[in-house]
Chain A
């Protein structure tokens, strides 16, 4: 029995480890969100719990360097301008490893946020743990989370709209469609969509 114990512990550890390295599949619609504490470009730490007045958030994983993120940048600013007043401000999170992509360094993030006058926090996910927990795979990758008491629950995951190249040719604004339902207190009719984006630049293992 004594001999067995370390073996069992080792097996359990191994199981945990292999689970951990495989990475979680990330959130599905309806999942409760684990709060985070990430550094904003102004040097302050930001958490979802900070803003008591927020009914929810539009959390978007984005970055400086991806052409798709750049194509959507002004549309993300537009989402904040439209929905912050209705209780759903944007929180932008950059999950890219700055060692792999120097253009996504904290200094470069500060410069970008300043030059484009981001009206929302732009946070660095330095450990990439938040992106992994959410299950974000690409930039941009967007999540709408809705307050339930002191918790936040995922109510929409996916794409911003149906045309990344040309905002003037958009027929379906997926996020806005979802937001209409969410603001009316209903589940989003289309709560999950997909889009092309740049793969998140994960740290070299």
Chain B
């Protein structure tokens, strides 16, 4: 009986880790790399949301960004979720969170320690509060930033402004 329980334990453990291996990767990137991505100018509308697992309003609005992947699947909209959690929390908090929520958007973690060195470069209007979202479309020469939590209607309306 004991051995059977152990077997079950091993089996479920194995299944869980297999699931984790299949989960999407969360890579830790430096600001220089993020900055390159924030400068992509083409006919895609980029929606970059800065969030953190510890930020209640961020966690609340994440499903809205996730939905864009389905509602705007045919519209050249790309969502990037930038986790502002500490890099030390990657395996402990961020990856399990992404797995649990089944997030489909690309998620990266910004591995920088001093926000004063980059906040201004992301956008001068960003005071450092989370959530923060930037949207742009190079082809249309349009850009907008939001230091607030969206309602579903607000996000839909703001993204719609970028669509032809």
Let me know if B11 is at the binding interface, CB within 8 A. no
With A159-B116, A165-B86 as given contacts, are A198 and B127 in contact (CB-CB < 8 Å)? no
Number of interface residues of A (CB under 8 A): 21
Taken residue by residue from 53 to 74, chain A's Cβ proximity to chain B (1 for < 8 Å, 0 otherwise) reads as 0000000000000010000000
Is the CB–CB distance between A196 and B147 below 8 Å? no
Q: Which residues of B contact A174 (CB under 8 A)?
A: 116
Q: Which residues of B contact A200 (CB under 8 A)?
A: 129
C-alpha spacing A193/B128, complex, angstroms: 10
Let me know if B47 is at the binding interface, CB within 8 A. no
* Closest B residue by C-beta to A166: B113
Within 8 A of B (CB), among A171-205: 172, 174, 193-201
Q: Which residues of A contact B148 (CB under 8 A)?
A: 199
Number of interface residues of B (CB under 8 A): 22
C-alpha spacing A137/B130, complex, angstroms: 10
Is the CB–CB distance between B128 and A194 below 8 Å? yes
Contact partner of A137 (CB less than 8 A), chosen from B113, B114, B120, B147, is B147
Is the CB–CB distance between A196 and B84 below 8 Å? yes
Contact partner of A163 (CB less than 8 A), chosen from B57, B114, B127, B130, is B114
C-alpha spacing A30/B116, complex, angstroms: 21
With A137-B147, A165-B88 as given contacts, are A196 and B128 in contact (CB-CB < 8 Å)? yes
Let me know if B164 is at the binding interface, CB within 8 A. no
Is the CB–CB distance between A199 and B116 below 8 Å? no
Chain B interface main SS type: loop
Within 8 A of B (CB), among A108-158: 137-138, 141, 158
* Closest B residue by C-beta to A193: B116
Contact partner of A199 (CB less than 8 A), chosen from B88, B113, B131, is B131
C-alpha spacing A199/B117, complex, angstroms: 20
Q: Which residues of A contact B54 (CB under 8 A)?
A: 67, 198
* Closest A residue by C-beta to B131: A199
Q: Which residues of B contact A195 (CB under 8 A)?
A: 115-116, 119, 128
Is the CB–CB distance between B129 and A137 below 8 Å? yes
Let me know if A162 is at the binding interface, CB within 8 A. yes
Q: Which residues of B contact A138 (CB under 8 A)?
A: 127-130
Q: Which residues of A contact B156 (CB under 8 A)?
A: none
C-alpha spacing A199/B131, complex, angstroms: 7
Let me know if B55 is at the binding interface, CB within 8 A. yes
Q: Which residues of A contact B55 (CB under 8 A)?
A: 198-199
Q: Which residues of A contact B120 (CB under 8 A)?
A: 194
With A137-B127, A137-B147 as given contacts, are A196 and B115 in contact (CB-CB < 8 Å)? yes
Shortest CB–CB separation between residue A190 and chain B, in angstroms? 9
Let me know if A15 is at the binding interface, CB within 8 A. no
C-alpha spacing A197/B148, complex, angstroms: 13
Q: Which residues of B contact A194 (CB under 8 A)?
A: 115-116, 119-120, 126-128
List 9 A-B residue pairs with CB atoms under 8 Å apart, sorted by A's residue number.
A138-B128, A159-B116, A159-B128, A163-B114, A172-B114, A194-B119, A194-B128, A195-B116, A196-B130
Residues on B close to A: CB < 8 A?
54-55, 57, 84, 86, 88, 113-117, 119-120, 126-131, 147-149
Top 6 A-B residue pairs of the complex, sorted by shortest distance between their CB atoms: A162-B114, A138-B129, A199-B129, A194-B119, A137-B127, A137-B129
What 10 new A-B contacts, CB under 8 Å, besides A193-B116, A199-B147, A200-B129? A137-B127, A138-B128, A159-B128, A162-B116, A165-B86, A196-B119, A197-B130, A199-B57, A199-B131, A199-B148
